[in-house]
């Protein structure tokens, strides 16, 4: 009889990572995750976040998926011990960490590969090293070992690679059938383009050029209306955490162009959009604020969370929503509701004004205001810092109208027709109004 062990096997299985890890994320979601890794490379290379001259090129077709960048590459040391692990170890050296990272969960690249296909190749060059990893996912899944092997490896190269060659290329082939089918769909490629433009718009505004199948992505600017009499609110706060780095938060709220899709709250974590146009109770709608209604289509709110410690940011692992249980998000949500209230009041007043006139002061204030780019904001020319509360003109109340009542009586038709001729009117209603005015003027007024 063999001796029984006092330990219980709790090791993960590769099948879980290959099959189950991808079930809670869509194909549309995993590709922006891969771009996150490129953005981290750009930040490691340019910590001032001026990404001019850096690019990410994505190809998606029936035969393969490819993403290439010139964002500095992955060093052999980083690849060997950290970049391909499932999750980020807490003892990762400072030299490999990225300030304000967006790709530091440590599962994005592997999850994307498993979602896309069965064969992959990664080639990366830095100024002084190069490596290639090629693997068949099915064959790797049958091995006991969790490591990937370098197919090609060169360290301490004496002649540095040119700057534009320093980057990473990931190619996934033997695509899953549904993936290959999606990549041949113009509708899917259009959706993917919009998703990438949305998720990485702040990075692109900082100069990173991204193309999809050779077509440059368009920069979708976060903007609000502003004039001397119409100013959005801006509040900045720091959320402390016990014995850990803080989270810096910037909240904008105001009005913009009327759009039922773009209206609502937009939430960013370290420059990565995770929530777009939210109009649910998650961001305060229906909680001391009215539920969303089309009259609020001009409302825009933007929240920018920023921290060196990505674990403190209130995003989920798929980066498509907030962690509502996060203490950081709970604290900021209360401030979002507070800063949102005056904007909602203004839009209610604007609706009431439009019911009375097309050219009231509130409507004119909106029409005369100009859009400005939030990410380029420092302070208003000649105005100084932004207001912590939403500023708008006061509504002008129309004079109250007297109460009215109807008078109705019946008279011979011939008499009514004769009265029309004498009064010069065309309807019986006008006869009644004219004869009442005649009587009231002579008998009731002093």
Domain assignments of the chain as residue spans, ordered by start: 14-216, 223-376, 413-443
Strands 168-175 and 117-125: what pairing? antiparallel
Q: What is the pLDDT of residues 98-132, one digit of tens each?
A: 777 776 556 778 889 999 999 999 999 999 999 99
The residue among 307 and 317 whose pLDDT is bigger is 307
Average pLDDT, the chain: 88
CATH number for domain 14-216, candidates 3.30.565.10, 3.30.1490.100, 3.20.20.70, 2.40.30.10: 3.30.565.10
The residue among 273 and 162 whose pLDDT is bigger is 273
Contact 166, 129 (CB under 8 A): no
Q: How confident is the model at residue 382 (pLDDT cuts 50, 70, 90)?
A: very low
pLDDT, position 93: 56
pLDDT, position 252: 96
Q: What is the pLDDT of residues 50-66, one digit of tens each?
A: 899 999 999 999 999 99
The residue among 82 and 137 whose pLDDT is bigger is 137
**pTM summary value:** 0.82
CA angle at 112 for the pair 323 and 79, rounded to the nearest 5° = 100
CATH number for domain 223-376, candidates 3.40.190, 2.60.40, 3.30.230, 1.10.286: 3.30.230
Q: Rounded CA gap, 139 and 145, in Å? A: 11
pLDDT over 70 percentage in the chain: 92
- The answer to whether residue 383 scores a pLDDT higher than 60 is no
């Amino acid at each position: 009889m063999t001796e029984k062990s006092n330990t219980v096997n709790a090791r993960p299985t590769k099948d879980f990572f290959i099959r189950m890890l991808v079930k809670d994320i869509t194909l549309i979601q995993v590709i922006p995750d891969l771009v996150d890794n490129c953005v981290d490379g750009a930040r490691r290379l340019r910590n001032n976040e001026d990404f001019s001259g850096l690019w990410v090129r994505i190809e998606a077709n029936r035969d393969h998926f490819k993403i290439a960048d010139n964002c500095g590459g992955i060093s052999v040391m980083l690849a060997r011990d950290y970049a391909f692990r499932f999750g980020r170890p807490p003892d990762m050296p400072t030299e490999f960490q990225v300030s304000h990272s967006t790709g530091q969960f440590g599962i994005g690249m592997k999850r994307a590969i498993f979602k896309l296909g069965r064969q992959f190749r990664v080639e990366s060059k830095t100024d002084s090293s190069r490596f290639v990893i090629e693997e068949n996912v099915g064959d790797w899944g049958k091995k006991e070992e969790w490591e990937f092997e370098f197919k090609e490896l060169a360290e301490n190269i004496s002649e540095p690679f040119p700057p534009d060659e320093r980057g990473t290329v990931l190619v996934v082939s033997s695509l899953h059938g549904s993936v290959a089918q999606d990549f041949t769909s113009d509708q899917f490629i259009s959706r993917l383009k919009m998703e990438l433009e949305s998720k990485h718009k702040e990075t692109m505004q900082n100069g990173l050029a991204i193309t999809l199948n050779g077509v440059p992505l368009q920069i979708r600017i976060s903007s609000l209306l502003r004039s001397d009499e119409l100013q959005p609110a801006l509040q900045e706060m720091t959320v402390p955490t016990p014995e850990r780095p803080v989270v810096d938060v910037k909240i904008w709220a105001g009005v913009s162009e009327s759009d039922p899709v773009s209206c609502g709250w937009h939430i960013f974590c370290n420059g990565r959009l995770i929530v777009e146009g939210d109009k649910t109770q998650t961001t305060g709608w229906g909680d001391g604020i009215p539920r969303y209604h089309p009259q609020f289509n001009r409302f825009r709110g933007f929240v920018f969370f920023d921290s060196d410690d990505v674990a403190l940011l209130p995003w989920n692992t798929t980066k498509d929503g907030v962690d509502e249980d996060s203490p950081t998000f709970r604290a900021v949500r209360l401030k979002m509701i507070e800063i949102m209230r005056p904007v909602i009041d203004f839009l209610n007043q604007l609706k009431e004004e439009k019911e009375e006139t097309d050219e009231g002061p509130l409507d004119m204030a909106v029409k005369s205001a100009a859009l400005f780019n939030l990410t380029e904001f420092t302070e208003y020319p000649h105005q100084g810092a932004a207001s912590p509360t939403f500023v708008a003109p006061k509504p002008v109340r129309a004079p109250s109208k007297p109460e009215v009542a109807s008078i109705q009586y019946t008279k011979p038709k011939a008499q009514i027709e004769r009265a029309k001729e004498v009064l010069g009117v065309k309807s019986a209603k006008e006869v009644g109004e004219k004869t009442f005015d005649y009587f009231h003027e002579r008998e009731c007024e002093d």
